[in-house]
């Protein structure tokens, strides 16, 4: 039931940029330092967040990254759908690697799939703005200066 570290870090980058605000261009190094996580991991994460239209990169001297859209427009369910590698809860969710011989008639996958849809229905009801309601407190926890 864990999300991948890749999804975890993607959400953290969005939270960081959401709290930091649009006037600041953030660097991958500063985000890595703030969270004390691997910069190499974040390279791929931010590249993909950009490709998916969640963040934008301003190039050149003094450049950096920021949200590409307002926090209200970043849907958490949509982010998780884009960042999770797959949704193969159990083996038979992947027809290519499935070896379980009862899968044609086993109803367990329907129950698990229904549960997964319920999970996403909740995440789809949240935007980045919703999870940033304590923005001022988060600003201080990040250690940003006003």
Q: Which residues bind a second copy (CB under 8 A)?
A: 1-3, 7-8, 11-12, 15, 19, 34-36, 76, 84, 87-91, 99-102, 104-108, 110-112, 114-116, 118-123, 126, 130-134, 137-138, 141-143
Which one, 58 or 108, has the nearer CB to a second copy?
A: 108
Measure the CA dihedral 118/121/125/128, to 10°. Answer: 90
In angstroms, give the least distance from the CB of 61 to a second copy. 29
In the chain, the largest separation of any two C-alpha atoms, in whole Å, equals 61
C-alpha count within 13 angstroms, C-beta hemisphere, residue 33: 7
In angstroms, give the least distance from the CB of 58 to a second copy. 24
Tokens describing residue 88 = 């193969």
Closest by Cα among 13, 15, 44 to 31:
13
Which one, 44 or 121, has the nearer CB to a second copy?
A: 121
């Amino acid at each position: 039931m864990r999300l991948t570290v890749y999804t975890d870090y993607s959400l953290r980058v969005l939270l960081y940029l959401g709290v930091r605000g649009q006037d600041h261009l953030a660097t991958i190094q500063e985000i890595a330092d703030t969270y004390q996580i691997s910069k190499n991991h974040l390279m791929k994460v931010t590249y993909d967040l950009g490709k998916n239209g969640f963040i934008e990169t301003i190039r050149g001297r003094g450049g950096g990254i920021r949200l590409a859209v307002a926090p209200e427009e970043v849907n958490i369910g949509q982010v998780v759908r884009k960042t999770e590698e797959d949704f193969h809860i159990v083996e038979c969710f992947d027809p290519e690697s499935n070896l379980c011989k009862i899968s044609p008639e086993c109803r367990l996958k329907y129950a698990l799939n229904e549960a997964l849809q319920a999970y996403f229905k909740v995440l789809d009801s949240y935007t980045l703005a919703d999870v940033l309601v304590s923005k001022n407190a988060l600003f201080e926890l990040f250690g940003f200066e006003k």
